């Protein structure tokens, strides 16, 4: 009996060995990029980071030679952003997509910058599919016709399903008129629906072995921890095996709720990878990584045919792109991770002076990059302000003005608002939209809640873009003049740009030093202040403060107003 058992165990062992030896292992790489924004030309400046379309294609082709089982995808925001792309409605970007054999792209908010009509054309020209399972047509109640909810790709016998998802931020980060007939359903709801559809075998292509979400949903990563509220809800959907993200221009390679997540920074400066190992239809591993190609772009061999196409396109537009407007003695900074920038101040200052307004205001995301030292060309202006937003004059109360400026300070879903014509003291530790400590016109005149002020702004935020609220404005007048044209006119007239000093325009309250004189010190009135509270805090009396200041009415004081606290 023992002998028979040993023989049986031996045959079982041999069977296991044979099964192991002949188990089919497939390795698939999903290569991703996101937020390319039309950056088809390589940045050849000393510290230039963009690798350009020819090297993007060269990189992908080299990766495909190393592993034929490659699926190339985009996280969206592909076309809008540079002069050469904007002036040709993305023609060179589509050539890049086709040359790299892009399989699919998520629909980014900037895919709508020319209206949704372009999306189907890009898909055809670039020979790829736009995927969007959570965008619905309000008139039909059905999914939009210009994008598919999912796509299944078979690689060496393994079926990989790609589900497309747009961010819930799209409606307010897109010009309202272009998305007013569209509904953006929660990503997690759409994902759950289509995962079940696929898992139940309802797709004509059969059941997938792997399901990856290709999204324009924002993500971030700090201390190895992947962050994002919308992403958190999505990665809790059972059946999603990995997520490609975008929108937030971050480098992300990690896991959330046990699901691998990647985002490849922006502009093609990095490429992401989900390395998938499948054994006999079972997922063994999905490893996320990001290759920061900006640091080694000299090692990447450009695709010669793509490079030639770009050179031809550039030559055709050289008369427009190369037009010299003026010069700049140093960099005009626009660090979109910061607050008020030199470029933001300059642009809004030009807007307010052009319209003879008291204040200039624009959304920080409407300006895309720093303007670098040297000659300023028309191509630069298209890259700095790629959107065809128009100048609008709004009349608002002082209370509304304060709210609009406060809205742009430290928002977690957009670049900080840019303004000119004001001086603002703020407290970054206070609750969002309640951070302004004091606000005055640039000449020091306090902003009064019930007075009317003129603001030069743009049609994007006036219509609710970036959640700015102009609904209660006293008056709104659209001049139908492109802001870019106003900036170009100013540069030409001045033969360049003088770099502004913005050190005293937006100031952290901790950096404010109360001026002191022989008569006492200057105090800036804050929200909820009273003369009694101010007197007690400064160990003086209300009577002394009234005597030291020329109040029209001591019962009415204004936030931002400077008063003298008499010396003891």
428 touches 368 (CB < 8 A): no
Distance in angstroms (rounded) separating the CA atoms of residues 375 and 371: 10
pLDDT at 335: 86
Is residue 271 assigned to a domain? Answer: yes
Sign of the dihedral defined by the CA atoms of residues 173, 178, 179, 180, in that order? positive
Average pLDDT of the residues of the chain: 92
In the chain, the number of structural domains is: 3
Q: Of 293-297, 420-424, 444-448, 509-513, which gets the smallest average pLDDT?
A: 509-513
For residue 32, the model assigns a pLDDT of: 98
Per-residue pLDDT at 514: 56
Q: Are residues 104 and 223 in the same domain?
A: yes
pLDDT value at position 18? 46
**pLDDT-based confidence at 518, cuts 50/70/90?**
low
Encoded tokens for 433? 């939209």
Could you tell me if 275 and 393 lie in one domain? no
Q: Do 504 and 517 sit in the same domain of this protein?
A: no
pLDDT for 5 beyond 60: no
Q: Please compute the mean of the pLDDT values over residues 498-527 and round it to a whole number.
A: 80
Which positions ≥6 away from 303 have C-beta within 8 Å?
54, 55, 57, 58, 61, 99
Residue at 318 is within a domain: no
Residues 186 and 255 in one domain: yes
What distances in angstroms separate CA 181 from CA 121, 142, 166, 176, 487, one per listed residue? 20, 12, 15, 9, 33
3-state secondary structure of 557: coil
* Contact between 377 and 321 (Cβ < 8 Å): yes
Going by pLDDT thresholds of 50, 70 and 90, the confidence category of residue 412 is confident
Per DSSP bridges, beta strands 282-291 and 70-74 are: unpaired
Compute CA distances 541 → 104, 439, 526, 529, whole Å. Answer: 71, 26, 18, 15
Residues 242 and 294 both lie in one domain: yes
- The yes-or-no verdict on residue 237 having pLDDT over 70 is yes
- Same domain, residue pair 104 and 157: yes
Q: Is residue 1 part of a domain?
A: no
Question: pLDDT grade, residue 19 (50/70/90)?
Answer: very low
pLDDT band at 510 (very low <50, low <70, confident <90, very high): confident
Confidence of residue 513 (pLDDT cuts 50, 70, 90): low
Residue among 437, 409, 408, 440 nearest 425 (CA): 437
CA distances from 297 to 54, 224, 271 (A): 11, 26, 12
DSSP reduced 3-state for 250: coil
Residue 232, φ and ψ in degrees, nearest 5: -60, -45
The answer, yes or no, to whether residue 487 has pLDDT greater than 90, is yes
Distance CA 450, CA 527 (A): 15
**For residues 128-143, average pLDDT:** 97
Per this entry, what is the length of the chain?
568
10 has a pLDDT exceeding 80? no
Pick left, alpha or beta for residue 90 (phi over 0 → left; psi -120 to 50 → alpha; otherwise beta).
left
The last residue of a domain, from among 313, 344, 365: 313
Closest CA to 421 of 472, 348, 491, 471: 348
Q: What is the pLDDT of residue 521?
A: 80
Residues 365 and 249 in one domain: no
* Last residue in a domain, options 490, 508, 526: 508
Where is the domain boundary, 484, 508, 532? Answer: 508
417 pLDDT band (50/70/90 cuts)?
Answer: very high
Measured distance CA(93)–CA(113) in Å, rounded: 15
* Cα 37 from Cα 372, distance rounded (Å): 19
What's the CATH code of the domain at 381?
3.90.780.10
Would 329 be classed as within a structural domain?
A: yes
Which residue range is the domain that position 365 belongs to?
A: 324-508
Do 273 and 390 fall within a single domain? no
Q: Using pLDDT thresholds of 50, 70 and 90, give the confidence band for residue 244.
A: very high
CATH number (domain holding residue 222): 3.60.21.10
pLDDT tier at 4, thresholds 50, 70, 90? low
Does 17 fall in a domain? no
CATH of residue 518's domain is 3.10.350.10
Query: Is the per-residue pLDDT at 560 higher than 80?
Result: no
Contact predicate 79/130, CB 8 Å:
no
- With 0-12 / 13-18 / 19 or more C-beta atoms within 10 angstroms meaning exposed / middle / buried, residue 377 is middle
- 254-259 average pLDDT score: 98
- Whole-angstrom distance, CA of residue 277 vs CA of residue 508: 51
Dihedral sign (CA 230, 231, 235, 241): positive
pLDDT category at 558 given cuts 50, 70, 90 is confident
Residue 19 lies in a domain: no
Helix axes 342-354, 483-494, angle to 10 degrees: 90
Output the pLDDT for position 517. Answer: 55
Cα separations (Å) of 63 from 32, 79, 130, 199, 288? 12, 24, 23, 30, 16
| 49 has pLDDT over 70 | yes
Please check whether residue 482 lies inside any domain of the structure. Answer: yes
How do beta strands 135-137 and 142-143 pair?
antiparallel
DSSP annotation of 365 reads G
Instruction: Check residue 550 and give its pLDDT.
Output: 74
Record the tokens describing residue 536, joined without a space.
């007690």
What does each C-alpha distance from 521 to 506, 507, 565 come to in angstroms? 21, 19, 5
Same domain, yes or no, for 350 and 226? no
Which tokens sit at 458? 């743009």
Gap between the Cα atoms of 280 and 375, Å rounded: 60
Same domain, 438 and 542: no
* 306 and 362 housed in the same domain: no
Pair 330, 387 in one domain: yes
Q: What is the mean pLDDT of residues 258-285?
A: 97
pLDDT, tens only, 144-195: 999 999 999 999 999 999 999 999 999 999 988 999 999 999 999 999 999 9
- List helix spans (H) across 22-90: 52-66, 83-86
- The mean-pLDDT minimum among 74-88, 521-535, 548-562 falls in 548-562
- Mean pLDDT, rounded, for 37-61: 93
């Amino acid at each position: 009996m023992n002998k028979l058992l040993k023989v049986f165990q031996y045959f079982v062992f041999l069977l296991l060995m044979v099964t192991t030896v002949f188990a089919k292992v497939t390795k698939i790489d999903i290569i991703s990029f996101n937020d390319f924004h039309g950056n088809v030309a390589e940045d050849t400046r000393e510290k230039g980071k963009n690798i350009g379309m020819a090297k993007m294609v060269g990189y992908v082709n080299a990766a495909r030679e190393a592993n034929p089982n490659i699926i190339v995808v985009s996280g969206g925001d592909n076309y809008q952003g540079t002069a050469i792309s904007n002036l040709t409605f993305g023609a060179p970007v589509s050539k890049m997509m086709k040359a790299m054999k892009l399989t699919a792209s998520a629909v980014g908010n900037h895919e709508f910058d020319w209206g949704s009509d372009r999306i189907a054309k890009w898909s055809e020209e670039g020979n790829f599919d736009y995927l969007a399972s959570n965008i619905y047509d309000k008139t039909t109640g059905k999914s939009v016709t210009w994008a598919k909810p999912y796509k299944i790709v078979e690689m060496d016998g393994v079926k990989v399903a790609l589900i497309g998802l747009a961010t819930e931020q799209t409606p307010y980060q897109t010009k309202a008129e272009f998305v007013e007939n569209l509904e953006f359903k929660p990503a997690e709801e759409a994902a759950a629906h289509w995962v079940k559809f696929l898992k139940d075998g309802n797709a004509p292509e059969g059941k997938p072995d792997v399901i990856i979400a290709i999204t324009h949903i924002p993500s971030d990563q700090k201390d190895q921890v992947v962050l994002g509220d919308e992403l958190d809800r999505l990665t809790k959907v059972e059946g999603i095996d990995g997520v490609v993200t975008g929108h937030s221009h971050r480098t992300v390679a990690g896991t959330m709720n046990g699901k691998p997540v990647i985002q490849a920074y922006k502009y093609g400066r990095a490429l992401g990878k989900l390395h998938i190992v499948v054994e006999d239809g079972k997922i063994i591993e999905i490893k996320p990584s990001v290759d920061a190609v900006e640091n080694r772009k000299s090692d990447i061999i450009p695709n010669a045919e793509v490079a030639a196409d770009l050179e031809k396109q550039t030559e055709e537009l050289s008369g427009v792109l190369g037009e010299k407007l003026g010069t700049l003695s140093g960099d005009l900074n626009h660090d979109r991770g910061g607050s008020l920038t030199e470029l933001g101040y300059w642009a809004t200052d030009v807007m307010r002076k052009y319209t003879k307004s008291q204040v200039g205001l624009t959304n920080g995301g409407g300006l895309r990059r720093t303007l670098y030292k040297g000659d300023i060309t028309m191509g630069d202006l298209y890259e700095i302000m790629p959107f065809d937003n128009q100048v609008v004059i709004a009349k608002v109360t002082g209370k509304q003005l304060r709210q609009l400026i406060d809205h742009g300070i430290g928002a977690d879903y957009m670049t900080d608002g840019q303004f000119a014509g004001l001086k603002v003291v703020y407290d970054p530790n206070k609750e969002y939209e309640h951070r302004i400590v004091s606000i005055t016109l640039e000449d020091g005149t306090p902003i009064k809640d019930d007075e009317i002020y003129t603001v030069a702004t743009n049609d994007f935020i006036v219509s609710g873009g970036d959640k700015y609220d102009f609904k209660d404005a006293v008056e709104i007048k659209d001049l139908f003049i492109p802001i870019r044209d106003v900036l170009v006119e100013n540069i030409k007239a001045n033969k360049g740009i003088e770099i502004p000093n913005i050190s005293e325009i937006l100031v952290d309250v901790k950096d404010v030093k109360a001026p002191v004189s022989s008569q006492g010190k200057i105090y800036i009135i804050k929200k909820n202040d009273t003369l009694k509270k101010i007197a007690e805090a400064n160990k003086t009396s209300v009577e002394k403060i009234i005597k030291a200041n020329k109040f029209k009415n001591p019962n009415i004081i204004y936030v931002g107003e400077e008063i003298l606290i008499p010396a003891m």
